[in-house]
Structure 1
Amino acid sequence: MGSRRVITGEAVALDLPAASLITRGGSLLIDVMAYWLLFGAMVLLGGYVVMFSMDPAMQAALSLSMMVLCLVIVPITVETLTRGRSLGKLIFGLRTVRDDGGAVRLRHSVIRGLAGFGEIYLTLGLAPLLTAMFTERSKRLGDVMAGTYAVRMRHPPVRPMMLPVPPAMAAWAQIADIGRIPQDQATRAARLLRTLQTGGKKVNMAALSAASDRIADQMLSHISPAPPTTSSIDFLSAVMAERRNREYQRLSRAAQRTGRLHQRLHTLPYA
């Protein structure tokens, strides 16, 4: 499934990639095995020692109580305390969140836990499988009822594009207004430069040069002043490297402001 864009209360767009059906299934299988092992351990360690002296009705009641504890109450408690995690989700790098991207609360976990006991165990996993196949973000029935879904928390590492500003373009890049470049053009330029950086001898330089010429022509209308005469690849390298440098400086300033604020809030009289 694709990612869902969520707008937070601070008007910040977040891309939350939904977990796939396979990873959700693997996570659920691990959780089910863990909770059944817990139930078996409780029975072996002490449940039947007490139950042998009971009448059959009390034995059945105690067995049902332990089953509800292990298969309903424990999963609800774990998910609530870990804000949407479980053993299976931890292994697969998943987390359950609300549809708006926020952390799940007790009521979400209760709905998911109660619905999960019926849909997972009473249908032998068939209900969540069918529901996940026909919902947008691989939701099971408990997710539909609670307004939640699972997101991927781990992402494969991406090598940063470290192309420097060409020396001949350095002075121009310092004063250029490049803040109005559309994101789609910047994305295409980044992909082209990454191909140039990582492609090695397999790169078709003629096709790459033609593509860079087209992207550079589109960018020129959004940049001022005009750049000095150079190749389109050097021009794109200068623009994207300078964008990276300015973004790094902006994030550094924001981190410094956050650090100063954190220091003020943790000193008297606020501490």
Structure 2
Amino acid sequence: MTGEAVVLGLRTAKLPSRALAVVLDLAVEFAAFFIVTVLLLTLLEGLDGAAAAALMICMMVFFLVAVPVTVETLTHGRSLGKMALGLRVVRLDGGPARFRHALVRGLVGIIEIILLTGVPAAITSLVNSDGRRLGDIFAGTIVVRERVPAGRSTGPVVAPPPQVMAALGTDLVRLDLSSVPEGLWLAIRQLLGRADQLDAEVAFRMAHQLAGDVAMRTQWPVPAGLHPALYLGAVLTERQRREWQRAAAAAPYAQPMAPSPYAPPVPVPVPSPFAPPMPQFAPPAAPVRYLGVPPQAPAPSAPVPQAPVQSAPVPQAPVQPAPVPPAPVQPPPVVPVQVTPPPVLPVRAAEPQDAPPATAPVADGGFALPG
């Protein structure tokens, strides 16, 4: 949504609420200025008139310029009076006010509110349609209402009823929504989401402008008699339907389908009271993760320098000469030895004392037994 459109969609603060907030702020500032100045003059009794006047001027600048500027910068456009009435200072594009905006508002406010008793600020706020005073015009800011009273919603109904969707269904299906940029879709969602907080005229003007942009890009004009907000709601609903259809078509391939809530419950086995107790095993320790604290990845350990590995010297065996096969042993030659038989000595028979009788010789040269 464009910058000015955002601001116009908010409820701007008018003169009565702004004047009351300024009165509360000035009352607190002057009270603090008076108390601090009296204390300083009491403690510093020896000051002359010039020094006392200079001190009062410094205190006035501090409490009427420095303090309001600092408070609006730190609170993003909210002073004590604005907090009490639910007001806030924002830029024309809807963003929070910064230091330079608060400084310009404070310097101009000294002239138009304090020195000129607020007459230029009141006249400018009455003439301006957004209730802006001179400080807001020079700083490029606007004061809006943050708290919207209940029961004052006069915005149009933005949710398209089924009758409208049924009447526009054929034309919505044929629309080419690819030419509508994301920024325009965001503006439509913001408008439809804040319809209850907008004035009827402001909401109609913004819806008419956005509907014209959508009709120009989709080549489908707003049907006669249809509120622009309903037209935008119908187009946005059609876009969401197409996105849901594409997501549903891609879901079965991306992740398993969740079980149906209407499926019958799975029976849970109930252990028998007579069954022996089962041993209990402690589950493995799981990493504990605290909500809101992202899981911490283990810190990489520093590489430990490793000393180069020196290989031990391998002792080399002494080189043994190749064994020489022994020469075959030749048996000694066999020398024939002539053996001489020993001489046979004649044996002389002993003569018995009583010789037996002689026997006759046997014809074949043997001996005959004595008979």
Return the TM-score normalized by structure 1.
Answer: 0.56
> Is the CA contact (8 Å cut-off) linking 2:7 and 2:92 kept in structure 1?
no
For residues 62 and 141 of structure 1, what CA distance do their matches in structure 2 show?
29
Correspondence 1:168-247 to 2 at 5 A: none
For residues 23 and 75 of structure 2, what CA distance do their matches in structure 1 show?
19
For residues 7 and 127 of structure 2, what CA distance do their matches in structure 1 show?
26
Pick aligned residue for 2:88 from 87, 95, 101: 95
For residues 104 and 60 of structure 2, what CA distance do their matches in structure 1 show?
18
Pick aligned residue for 2:2 from 7, 10, 21: 7
For residues 13 and 59 of structure 1, what CA distance do their matches in structure 2 show?
46
| Matched letter for residue 130 of structure 2 | R
Aligned match of 2:97: 104
Aligned match of 2:139: 146
Pick aligned residue for 2:58 from 61, 65, 70: 65
Superposed displacement of residue 136, structure 1: 2.4
| Matched letter for residue 117 of structure 2 | L
Superposed displacement of residue 265, structure 1: 9.1
For residues 27 and 54 of structure 1, what CA distance do their matches in structure 2 show?
36
Pick aligned residue for 2:28 from 23, 34, 40: 34
5+ residue gaps in structure 2? 154-161, 173-187, 197-223, 231-236, 245-289, 298-371
> Is the CA contact (8 Å cut-off) linking 1:51 and 1:59 kept in structure 2?
no
Superposed displacement of residue 7, structure 1: 2.5
Aligned match of 1:82: 75
Aligned match of 2:14: 20
Superposed displacement of residue 50, structure 1: 3.2
Secondary structure of 1:17's aligned partner? coil
1:126-166 Cα shifts (integer Å, max 9, x gaps): 12111112222111111111000100101112499xxxxxx
> Is the CA contact (8 Å cut-off) linking 1:16 and 1:151 kept in structure 2?
yes
Number of aligned residues: 182
For residues 154 and 79 of structure 1, what CA distance do their matches in structure 2 show?
18
Superposed displacement of residue 28, structure 1: 0.9
For residues 87 and 42 of structure 1, what CA distance do their matches in structure 2 show?
19
More helix per residue: 1
> Is the CA contact (8 Å cut-off) linking 2:14 and 2:131 kept in structure 1?
yes
Change (3 A) 1:80 1:58: same
| Matched letter for residue 147 of structure 2 | R
> Is the CA contact (8 Å cut-off) linking 2:6 and 2:93 kept in structure 1?
no
5+ residue gaps in structure 1? 1-5, 161-171, 192-216, 224-242, 251-262
Secondary structure of 2:93's aligned partner? coil
Q: Could you say which structure has the greater relative contact order, defined with CA pairs below 8 angstroms and 6 or more residues apart? A: 1
> Is the CA contact (8 Å cut-off) linking 1:7 and 1:13 kept in structure 2?
no
Determine what percentage of the aligned residue pairs are the same residue: 37
For residues 13 and 77 of structure 1, what CA distance do their matches in structure 2 show?
24
Q: Which has more radius of gyration? A: 2
Superposed displacement of residue 43, structure 1: 2.0
Change (3 A) 1:159 1:148: closer
Change (3 A) 1:218 1:145: closer
Pick aligned residue for 1:137 from 130, 135, 150: 130
For residues 8 and 151 of structure 2, what CA distance do their matches in structure 1 show?
19
| Matched letter for residue 139 of structure 2 | A
More strand per residue: 1
Considering only aligned residues, what root-mean-square deviation do their CA atoms show, in Å?
Answer: 4.1
For residues 7 and 291 of structure 2, what CA distance do their matches in structure 1 show?
29
Return the TM-score normalized by structure 2.
Answer: 0.42
Secondary structure of 2:95's aligned partner? coil
| Matched letter for residue 21 of structure 2 | S
Aligned match of 1:267: 294
Secondary structure of 2:294's aligned partner? coil
For residues 8 and 119 of structure 2, what CA distance do their matches in structure 1 show?
32
Change (3 A) 1:58 1:267: same
> Is the CA contact (8 Å cut-off) linking 1:97 and 1:103 kept in structure 2?
yes
